[in-house]
Chains A and B, each alone.
Chain A
Amino acid sequence: MKKAEEIGFAAFLVIVFALFVILGWGYAKRPRIVPLTLSIPGLALSVLNFGNSIVKAKRAGTDQKTKRAETSPGGPQAALSTENRKILVIWTWIIALAVGINFLGFMIALPIFLLAFIKFFAKRTWKLSTLIAASFTLAVYLVFYVGLKTTL
């Protein structure tokens, strides 16, 4: 699974550098000098990195096939898929916080996020979740609104 991640990220880098090259080509002569000077070698190196990661994955795949018979089926695979699910869930929480800040503002989104995260993700009691969310929000209010006289 780590190999799939490596190939995925290598492909992402190739796409990003390719975009930099393609878009850079469209600019006038002077503004495109530096972007093209940097992005063309970047594209070449990221293609090389992509190739490397595929070769590594193939080698690892061959090794795994030989080992598969010895290990219990599904063990590490299941652990990895659980980890990936966890990563997705965490990023969803983070994006939810950003969306909340956009629509509700910091002073409403932060306590809701903290309360919900500590209650449902960390699986703590309502009492502790409320206490942490309230204390942190109060600290933010005191530091930013009272102390620094800024608004979030």
Chain B
Amino acid sequence: MLEALWDGLVLVFSWPAIGYMTVGVFFGLFMGFTPGIGGPVTLALVLPFSFSLDEVSAVAFLLGTHSVVVTGGSVSAILFGVPGAGPNAATIIDGFPLAQKGEAGRAIGAALAASALGGVFGTVVLACIIPVLRPIVLVFGPPEFFMLAILGVVFLATLSGDEPLKGVIAGLLGLMISLIGEELIVGTKRYTFDTVYLWDGIKLVPSVIGLFAVAEMVDLLVRGGSIAKPEKKAVLTGPWTGVMDVFKHWGLFVRSCILGVIIGIIPGLGGDVACFLAYGQAAQTVKKGETEYGKGNIGGVIAPEAANNAKEGGALVPTIAFGIPGSGSMAILLGALLIVGITPGAALLDEKLDITFAMVWTLAIANIGGAAIMMLLAKRLSKITLLEGSILAPIILSVCFIGAYMTTNSMGDIIVAIVLGVIGFMMKRLNFSRAALLLGLVLGRIVEQNLFLSIRIFGAGFIYRPIAMGLVVIAVMVIAWSFLKPMLQRRNEKAA
């Protein structure tokens, strides 16, 4: 165990892995800082570049990029009130008022320190869980994986605000899109319309680029203007005061981290949920004489940022142990791991344990490095968000098409990016969950494969295995609650 831990550290610091991680950290910070792009899009953009790398370099590059996106996003959230990535939205509530009060430096310092330390916290938890994971993984067979995949889609689909029906439809649409192509057992070509490109199914990279990046850029062009407009000149002073604030609020920090890790482990919940729940629990604990939450309380910056980065360690648990991604970004990362030859499951917790620990180290080092770099660069980078959208968007769209095309060097990839771009744009406008569609797309094949294996091994009664049955009960309860909750809320509002 300790040997694997050490081997993992050596692997991360070996050349060229450390170089790729550094490049990834810089790129991740830049993309995180640029509002509207976010984690899944950033990973989708760097994904094609990882295909030709060796296992360790690819892991260092992808995880290095991914783990710091939200760290970069916290700076634009505080300075301009525009979240760099979705999970940074909760940071705005108190971060932007702090910037308006001339305490942007303090807020940025607190956000970056909470992000870095939260990331390390999540990583330590992940490292501690790994030895316990092996026996748990062996208990999980095809029926449990099938139900876990279903549960992941259900979780994500039902967390679509007050319109769970739209979330479930989006999840089902993603699952159906994943079934396009050659069927795995018999080889029947489904929904391919005799198009050779579709025989291999819809690829993940162009899909993500279309759903998120293309849709966001079109939305930016429609809205017009620049991405961010600072309402008041932010003062970048006092970041060290913010760093010290994290230590002063250590109780809040630890609680938020624990919440983040737990939410990360549950497949499909994602960063946004972690941040808002952490913010919610922080707001419950406001003391007498303290600034109110929502009006510039530093705790409102520490809680979501800590939970957000701690969540990444937790999200890696189901991804590497079960092959079930904990979030949209993890879904892309899972695809990347498979492409470079790393198969999640028992192997990663046994003979490839050093690779797993290399992931753990990458997360920790990238988080600390990313926060340090951001402290130095925040002021200069802030000018990018003032670039006119009509100039930034065509450049990003060009990068999108290059990224999509590089998947298989086929025009089909660009067409997929455009078609899913249109669907993603409409989904964004009409409040459908794009993350649910993406998770359905990633998990569709897992669902089908494990369903067939379950029926073949255990017969139709596979669902009655204890863990599978437990997961069925949780899924039913989640669906029922998601439909009941808005009804109860409406009734309470009427009564009030």
State the A residues within 8 Å of B (CB).
2, 5-6, 9, 13, 16-17, 20, 23-24, 27-28, 30-31, 33-35, 38-39, 41-42, 45-46, 48-49, 52, 83, 86-87, 90-91, 93-95, 97-98, 101-102, 106, 110, 113-114, 117-118, 121-122, 124, 132, 136, 140, 144, 148, 150, 152
CA distance A121 to B389 in the complex (A): 11
What residue in chain A is nearest B187 (Cβ atoms)? A31
Decide: B166 and A49 in contact? CB cutoff 8 A.
yes
Distance, CA A135 to CA B163, complexed state (A): 45
Nearest CB of B to A145, in Å: 12
Contact B173–A27 (Cβ < 8 Å): no
CB < 8 Å: which of A9, A117, A122, A150 contacts B426? A9
26 chain-A/chain-B pairs, Cβ below 8 angstroms? A9-B430, A16-B173, A17-B172, A20-B191, A27-B188, A28-B186, A30-B185, A30-B186, A31-B186, A33-B451, A38-B172, A41-B172, A42-B176, A45-B165, A45-B169, A46-B169, A49-B165, A49-B169, A91-B422, A97-B397, A98-B411, A98-B418, A113-B398, A117-B390, A117-B394, A122-B394
A9 to B394 Cα, complex, angstroms: 26
> Assuming A5-B430, A94-B418, what are 14 further A-B pairs, CB within 8 angstroms?
A16-B173, A17-B176, A23-B191, A27-B188, A30-B186, A31-B183, A31-B185, A31-B186, A38-B172, A42-B173, A97-B397, A98-B418, A106-B401, A114-B394
Cβ-neighbour of B430 out of A6, A102, A113 (below 8 A): A6
Report the separation of the CA atoms of residues A39 and B222 in the bound assembly, to the nearest whole angstrom.
33
Contact A38/B175 with A28-B186, A83-B222, A136-B398 known, Cβ cut-off 8 Å: yes
B130 contacts partner chain A, Cβ-Cβ < 8 Å:
no
Q: Is the CB of A45 within 8 A of B188?
A: no
| Contacting pair A24 B190 (CB below 8 A) | yes
* Pairwise interchain contact A31-B190, C-beta atoms closer than 8 A: yes
**8 nearest CB pairs, A to B:** A122-B390, A31-B188, A42-B172, A31-B183, A117-B394, A34-B448, A9-B426, A90-B221
Pick from B222, B401, B448: contact of A86, CB under 8 Å:
B222
Residues of B contacting A39 with CB < 8 Å? 172, 176
Report how many A-B pairs have Cβ atoms within 8 Å.
Answer: 126
Q: Is the CB of A152 within 8 A of B165?
A: no
| B453 at the A interface (CB under 8 A) | no
Contact B218 A106 (CB under 8 A): no
Of all chain B residues, the one with the shortest Cβ separation from A115 is: B394
Tell whether, in the assembled complex, residue A35 and residue B176 are in contact, meaning their CB atoms are under 8 Å apart: yes
Chain B's closest residue to A40 (CB) is: B172
- Within the assembled complex, what's the spacing in Å between the Cα atoms of A90 and B414? 16
Q: Note all chain A residues with C-beta closer than 8 A to B133.
A: none
Provide the bound-state CA to CA distance between A18 and B49, in Å.
Answer: 38
A5 CA / B428 CA spacing, docked (Å): 12
Judge if B447 is at the interface, Cβ distance under 8 Å.
yes
Instruction: Knowing A34-B451, A42-B173, A132-B391 are in contact, say whether A98-B401 is a contact too (CB < 8 A).
Output: yes
Do the beta carbons of B190 and A27 come within 8 Å of each other?
A: yes
* B4 contacts partner chain A, Cβ-Cβ < 8 Å: no
Interface size bracket, B side: 35 or more
CB-nearest residue of chain B to A124: B391
CA distance A17 to B418 in the complex (A): 20
Distance A2 CA – B429 CA, assembled complex (angstroms): 9
Give the chain A neighbours of B402 by CB distance below 8 A: 106, 140, 144, 152
Closest beta carbon of chain B to A77's beta carbon, Å: 17
Complex CA distance for A91 and B166, rounded to whole angstroms: 25
Q: A42-B176, A86-B222, A94-B418 in contact; A118/B188 too (CB < 8 A)?
A: no
Give the complex CA separation of A20 and B143 in angstroms. Answer: 25
Which one of A13, A113, A144 has the highest number of Cβ atoms from chain B below 10 Å of its Cβ? A13
Question: Per a CB cutoff under 8 Å, which of B176, B391, B397, B398 touches A38?
Answer: B176
B84 at interface, CB cutoff 8 A:
no
Cα–Cα, bound, A46→B432 (Å): 12
Chain A residues contacting B430 (CB-CB under 8 Å) are 5-6, 9
CB of A85 to closest CB in B, whole Å:
10
State which residues 164-217 of B face A: CB under 8 Å: 165-166, 168-169, 172-173, 175-176, 179, 183, 185-186, 188, 190-191, 214
A152 to B48, CA, bound (A): 13
- Tell yes or no: B406 within 8 A of A by CB: yes
Is A5 touching B429 in the complex (CB atoms < 8 A)? yes
